Structure formats: C-alpha cells, structure tokens
Amino acid sequence: MNPCHETQREAGPQAAASPPRHWRNLEPETVYTELLHPADLFFEIHGRSFSELCEHALYALFHNIAELDSVMPRSTQTLQASASAPAEALRRLVAEALVLFDAEHFLAAGCQVDVSNTAPLTLTAVLWGEMFDPRRHELLSEIKAVTRHQLAADQEKTGRWRATILLDV
Amino acid sequence: MNTTPLPPLHRKGDVVWEMARTGDMKVPGRIYADSQMIDDLHEDQSLMQVHNVACLPGIVRYSMAMPDIHFGYGFPIGGVAAFRMDSGVVSPGGVGYDINCGVRLLGTSLTADDITGRVKGIVDQFFRDVPAGVGSAGAIAKLSRAEVGSILVKGAAWAVEHGYGRPADLAHTEAEGCLSGADPELISDRAFRRGLDQVGTLGSGNHFLELQVVEKIFAPEAATAFGLRQGQITLMVHCGSRGFGYQVCDDYLEVMEQAAHRYEITIPDRQLACAPLSSSEGKAYLSAMACAANYAWTNRQILTHLVERALMKTLSVSRDSLDLQLVYDVAHNIAKIERHEVDGETLTLCVHRKGATRAFGPDQSEVPADYRSVGQPVLIPGDMGTASYVCVGTQTAMEETFGSTCHGAGRVLSRAQALKRAKGRSIDRELKQHGIVARAQSRKTLAEEMPEAYKDVDSVVDVMHRAGVSLRVARLRPLGVVKG
C-alpha cells in the first residue's frame, strides 16, 4: 500500500512570459484573516470565485512561509489536485504547494488557478516564483502540514467563496 | 468536533482526575493535573478530545492526559491511549505529524566554570554548524533515495555505521534507535522528496538545541547512574522526523479515513481516523511510522555528531577530553507495541503517546542495562527561559499510565498572542538579561517561542512527581539556545 492521492506536478524552469499580479501588491487582510488558535495557523480565506479562493489560499500559505517582497517570478511550477469536494481539492492543492517548497525549495510570488468542474473536481495551479535563496529570502514559519481540522470551502449566498484551513506549525 | 457535553470530572487523588464514562465512551478518562490546571483546561477543547479518544474501539483502561495537555488534532497533545491488538485501532492522530519527535540529552566533562565567557562563542558555532531553520539543508551530503531507504530500516545504527557517533550511543536510545518492521515500500514519493535533504537538520518551531548547566540534583542515586552531577554542562536536542515524518502522517490520515469508513468505525472527529491494528491499513501505518521513527533517531544521532564537532572546535578540546556521552534519547510522539499488565493479565498493546514520554520503571528489559536498577531516564524540556528536567520512570508508571508521563511545558499562548505580546520587545535581550544567549533563524520564531508562551514546566513536572509516575532527578538551567 503506497498512499497516493490524485495530485500531479510539472516543473518549468523557463521564465514565465506573463506572470499574474505579484503577491507583494496584495493587502493580506483583503485575502485572509488569521483566526485564534492555540498553537497553529488557522485562516479564513475569501474569494470572488472558487479559483480566486484557491489562489488566495496559496497566497496565505506562502505569505506565512516567507517574506514575499523579494521573491521574483523567474520560473513556473504547475500543480494539479483532484477531489470530489471543493474543500478537499483545495486542501490537496495547498498541501502539494507545501511539498513543493519543502522538497524543492520553490517559493511562489503569484499564481493562477483553473478549475475544471468535471467529476472529480480538478484544480490546476501555475505558480510563478523562484528557488529559495537564503541570501535574499527571509523565511518565517516552518509549516508541517495542511490539516483536515475544521476544513471547509463553501459558496455564500452572495456568490463569494469562503474557506477555513488550518496549517500545523 | 462533536457537540456531546463534557462528562463530569471527579477528583481521585491529589493530582488525579477521572472523567466519568458516559455515552459512547468505552473507558473512563484520566487526567493528571493540579486544581489550577483543571480550571484552565475547561477553557479549551482538549478535555473533549480525551472523551473522543475514549470512544475508540479496543481502548484499554483509560483515555489519559498528562498535565501538559493541550489541543491537538484528533488526540490531545499530552495524550496516552493503549489499544488491544485483536480489537483495537491505530491512529496517526494519536502519534502526531512529527513522528518520533523526541529529546536527547548529552552529558559532558565540562563544568559551568570551564565555559565562563565562552557561551556566546559556543552558541554562535552551533548556529553556524547545525542546520536549523526552515528550508535548511542537511550538514551531510544530500543522500540518495537508496541511502534514505537504508536509514528508514536501520535507524540510528545507520548513522553510527557512517561515523556519526559511537555504538554505545545506541544502547542509550529508546528502542536502540530502531523500530522493527519498517518498510520503505510503504512510503510515498512525496515523503521521500521531503526527506532527502533534511537528514541532519534541527527544524524550526519549538525544536531547539540547548546548552545547559545541571542546576540541582534531586535524586543522587539516579543522577549518578545517568552520569549527571551538579554544575555539569549538558546539551539537549529536541527535534523529530522533519518533513519526512509530517508527510507520512498526512499520507496515512487519508488512508485511515477510508479505512475507518470501510471497517465501519464511528469516529467523533475526522482527525481520529484509524484502522484496526489487525487490518492491512493498520499494519501499513505502523510500518510507515517505523520508517519515520527511524529517520528521526538517525537525525538526532547525526545532530549529536555535529554538536560534538562544534564544541570541540570552539573550545579547542579533544573528543576524549570533552567526553560527550549520550545520557538518553526518548520519543514523545510515537505508537509502540508493548506488553503491559492489565488487571493481572499481561497483554500486548499498541500504546499511543502523543506529546507523552515513555517512563519505564526499574527492572524493565527495555531500559538500558546500566540504568535498569533505577529506571528509565525521562527528558522533559521546558521553555527556553526557565528549565528542563531529567526525571526517572517508576513502577507506578507501569501500573497506572502504561509507563508514560508528560513531555514538556505545553503552550498557553497562541502564536499570534505571543507575537502580540512580543511587539516592541527584544526577546533575545530579555533572555540575555537572564544569562541566556539565544540565536534563531527568524525573530518571529523567537517571539512565538517566548518563555511566557508556555506553561510553567516546574508545575507540570511536579504533578507527575506527586503522582509518583516520574520522579525528579535533576533540573537543567539553559545557558544558550539555538532555534530554527
């Protein structure tokens, strides 16, 4: 038994032609709120669409891993995650981004997420960023895992999306 | 989280409380705490987690909590639960993400006088030579997948074979630094990728390397057996299985969710996902967990080598004259197959210790031969501004707690609250005023780990001492600390 869920990754060392808005231009409080938790990082995340919610969740992850201002969009990495429920698909995508940093030391500075609504729900994220360089990048928190605790992703009556996600530190 | 009301607690002794068995609970709960701790506990969800664990199939005697209990995922941190092999379950949530997170204590020939005026130099050397923080690569060459596979099977013996430490170190390591049954074939590609370059790294968060002095001896006979004396310089390493272990836990939480469904196990909390110990999923988790436990023991063994080398370099002393000795290495996030006496019958059980330390008493074959007459050393790290303890396991622990005790101080402030309190303050300057040199990769980590973010370690250790479960042997005062 080798545990493996539906997540894939493609690397692209080439410079990205047109990266999306750099995360340094985002105001964190417009993207996510940190909720009170005794030991770990617990976030409430918002988005106008499910794809924007996923982008904001990836931002919340990397915003807590490193100071993002100095991360440049020099190359791309593509991640894919699937699940039947939006919350689990989101969790798997963020978890895969965490592995990308922890194993490959890739820091993202922006991303774009596409959602395919065919069953199972499939998320494809293109992340723009670069490899961690201890001389230029300041790291903040070591994140162990993206937990399933109080995990949620729901569309509100307004049409906006809201998620809660808890990172074990 | 379910909405069941918390069952009532009844005081059963000076520091022992029982949670009445109600509803779906298979056994009562048992909490070791003083009155103040119990009052504080009513404000968080960890007591409900004691209740939830008591609902799992095959649990024996009690769902237990140590005085450093705080909220965890599924099981509380500071939780102990033992399950029958035939009818019980194993749960990754009962071990935690950092599989075999643990503590190792090293004794030296040095006294406090020997390093007067040199503490900063030593801490700076540790900071340079021991890879610590987020994203740090190992101090040893990047290993191949096959080499990591060998580590997963051999544990700390792999490190000794490759020149990191001495064979004698293994005798003073829980399980001699290797759990049997480890099978690398059960490890995901993600876990391998996360683990390849993290062997020989300390990690971040609450992990640390600390330079200490033995401030007080409480039990001379046990202290002598452990090679500890007042005024002696010691070193403590607190870390675990790094990204490798985190990924193993995450992978198997998913396997266990499906297994719990397949075997129709009702769980009150998704993070209590589990599988019967007799099932293929349960056996696979134990084999994968053994891989991560062995990775962690190898990691701490290599860190010992790096610490020794750094100390020899800074103090210009030989290995013989430094005489670094491993006092003990003990896990505090693990599930072990052990034999315990329950109601007059000897049972083979799977004992989950999540934020709890094994504390075997005298005459147990698992305790190193040279410590067997006094009992197993128990290492309890405190916060970086107060103290850590060496205690000793007892027969009472064997009878009451499946040979288990507390593991540390336990957080009282959230990271966000700690950061708020640290605003405008310099934590390293405050520590310096107390004679402690602190170095950290990130100021944020130092603030999050500030001493007041933790419970009072003296009180936590005192509860288990009064309960007779683990007795105080020595108090260690920090002189210098390296945080990731």
Helix (H, G, I), strand (E, B) or coil at B122: helix
pLDDT tens-digit map of B156-188: 999 999 999 999 999 999 999 999 999 999 999
Q: Across the interface, do A3 and B252 touch by the CB < 8 Å criterion?
A: yes
- Cβ-Cβ contacts under 8 Å, B281 against chain A: 1
In chain A (169 residues long), the average pLDDT of successive 10-residue segments reads 57 58 88 88 96 98 95 96 97 98 95 92 97 92 93 97 96
- Average pLDDT on B407-428 reads 90
Q: How far is CA B429 from the centre of its chain?
A: 28
Integer Cα distance of B26 and B58 in angstroms = 8
Q: Does domain A7-39+48-154 have CATH number 3.40.50.11540?
A: no
Q: Which residue of A has its CA nearest to B257?
A: A148
Q: 């379910």: which residue's tokens?
A: B2
- Which phi and psi angles does B16 have, rounded to 5°? -120, 130
Backbone angles phi, psi at B265, to 5 degrees: -95, 120
pLDDT tops 60 at residue B225: yes
Min Cα distance A145 → chain B (Å) is: 6
Q: Mark yes or no for CB contact A104/B247 under 8 Å.
A: no
In B, which residues are within 8 Å of A140 by CB distance?
134, 442, 444
Q: Which residues of B are catalytic?
A: 407
Identify residues of A whose CB sits under 8 angstroms from chain B CBs: 1-5, 34, 36-41, 65, 95, 99, 101-105, 132, 134, 138-142, 144-150, 168-169
**Assigned token pair, B127:** 């900071």
H or E stretch at B351: strand B345-354
- Minimum-distance CB partner of A145 among B196, B249, B415: B249
Mean pLDDT of B40-69: 94
Domain limits of chain A?
A: 7-39+48-154
Query: Which tens digits make up the pLDDT trace of B66-110?
Result: 999 998 999 999 999 999 999 999 999 999 999 999 999 999 999
pLDDT of residue B47: 96
| pLDDT category of residue B1 using cuts at 50, 70 and 90 | very low
Q: What is the pLDDT of residues B344-398, one digit of tens each?
A: 999 999 999 999 999 999 999 999 999 999 999 999 999 999 999 999 999 999 9
Instruction: Nearest by CB to A102, from B194, B254, B442: name it.
Output: B194
Q: Which of B33-47, B118-132, B202-216 has the lowest mean pLDDT?
A: B33-47
Of B457, B356, B360, which Cα lies nearest the Cα of B399?
Answer: B360
- Report the residue of B73, B190, B454 to disrupt the A interface, i.e. the one with the largest count of A CBs within 10 Å: B190
Helix (H, G, I), strand (E, B), or coil: what is residue B159? helix
Which among B1, B255, B484 has CB closest to A142?
B484
Residue B3 is predicted with a pLDDT of: 63
Decide if B177 contacts B297 (C-beta within 8 A): yes
Strands B470-483, B388-393: pairing kind: antiparallel
Write the residue in A99, A141, A146 that is nearest to B444 by C-beta. A141
- CA-nearest of A109, A97, A110 to A20 is A110
> Is B135 within 8 Å of A2 when comparing Cβ atoms?
no
The dihedral built from the CA positions of residue B119, B122, B127 and B132, taken in this order, carries a sign that is negative
Average pLDDT, chain B: 95
Provide ipTM, 2 decimals.
0.92
The model's confidence at residue B435, banded by pLDDT at 50, 70 and 90, is: very high
Kindly report the number of other CB atoms within 10 A of residue B19's CB atom: 25
- Check whether B133 has a pLDDT greater than 60: no
pLDDT of residue B282: 98
> Between A and B, how many residue pairs show a Cβ–Cβ distance under 8 A?
105
Q: Answer yes or no: is pLDDT of B454 > 50.
A: yes
pLDDT recorded at residue B134? 55
Chain A residues with CB-CB distance to B135 below 8 A: 101-102, 105, 132, 134, 139
pLDDT over 90, % of chain B: 89
Q: Chain A residue closest to B203 (CA)? A: A142
H/E run at residue B194: helix B189-195
